[in-house]
Amino acid sequence: DAGVIQSPRHEVTEMGQEVTLRCKPISGHNSLFWYRQTMMRGLELLIYFNNNVPIDDSGMPEDRFSAKMPNASFSTLKIQPSEPRDSAVYFCASSFFRGSGNEQFFGPGTRLTVL
Amino acid sequence: AQTVTQSQPEMSVQEAETVTLSCTYDTSESDYYLFWYKQPPSRQMILVIRQEAYKQQNATENRFSVNFQKAAKSFSLKISDSQLGDAAMYFCAYRTRVGGGATNKLIFGTGTLLAVQP
């Protein structure tokens, strides 16, 4: 199994630009999570999906952030317009949810720098 | 709301020695999971060990073991025979076990950076 795949691994962009982060969960997993990691705030859950449906997006910082999961094998996190304070490492994780939950497997992360 | 606290921002251990990382949590729930994740410089988050709250026996995984004290809401990680490859940031995490759509949400502590001295 290839594990959770994220792209790009690094992204450098200028303030105001649109940024799209991509995630491919582990095949067979039906839960997907987007996290953000910064020195100041640590690891924060932004949003998660069960069976492609957003369950909890209370961690999404503001309307500039949006996430979609059009099918079981792909998700995107979009920031538009981007700001320097969005600079962080963004992780995608997936798990197989079966009532009592299961371990989350993390992707390698995308390091985003907004200049 | 549940919270997870790691009071040791940094720790250091000599190679081959034993080190214990602390974690406390706050919850009103009786059934939940607790995890330790390792994040080496590569940034990859790796699950080290997990504990189900209803199990009294402490979980072990090779050189890694936990001391789970449910009444005290404490969940420490012991690393025995420390190796250079154990150097990483370690995160304690909590997840509810109650049924429903919210069960998969992980709540992380702030992490402990472990250095291993040769």
B31-68 confidence digits (pLDDT tens): 889 999 999 998 889 999 999 888 889 999 999 999 99
**Mean pLDDT score of chain B:** 92
Q: Is it the case that residue B103 has pLDDT exceeding 80?
A: no
Interface contact flag, A103 B91, Cβ < 8 Å = no
Strand order in the sheet with A74-79: A5-7, A19-24, A74-79, A65-71
Select from B33, B44, B109 the Cβ nearest to the Cβ of A101. B33
Q: What is the pLDDT of residue B12?
A: 97
**pLDDT value for B99:** 57
pLDDT in tens, B1-12: 789 999 999 999
8 Å CB contact of B104 and A50: yes
How many Å apart are CA A65 and CA A20, to the nearest integer? 10
Averaged over B87-100, what is the pLDDT?
Answer: 84
Neighbours of B42 (CB within 10 A): 10
Closest CA to A107 of A86, A87, A92, A88: A92
The per-residue pLDDT string of chain A (115 residues; one tens digit each, 9 = 90 and over) reads 689 999 999 999 999 999 999 999 999 999 999 999 998 888 999 999 989 999 888 889 889 999 999 999 999 999 999 999 999 999 999 988 775 557 889 999 999 999 9
Q: How confident is the model at residue B105 (pLDDT cuts 50, 70, 90)?
A: confident
Query: Does pLDDT of B98 surpass 90?
Result: no
Is the separation of the CB atoms in A32 and A96 below 8 Å? Answer: no
Indicate the residue of A55, A106, A111 with minimum beta-carbon distance to B45: A106
Catalogue the E-assigned strands of A1-115.
5-7, 10-13, 19-24, 31-38, 42-50, 53-56, 65-71, 74-79, 88-95, 105-106, 110-114
CB contact under 8 A, A104 and B111: no
Give the β-pairing of A110-114 and A74-79. unpaired
Q: Which of A54-63, B21-30, B103-112 has the largest mean confidence?
A: B21-30
Given a contact cutoff of 8 angstroms between Cβ atoms, the answer to whether A22 and A76 are in contact is yes
- For residue A42, give the nearest of B35, B97, B110 by CB distance: B110
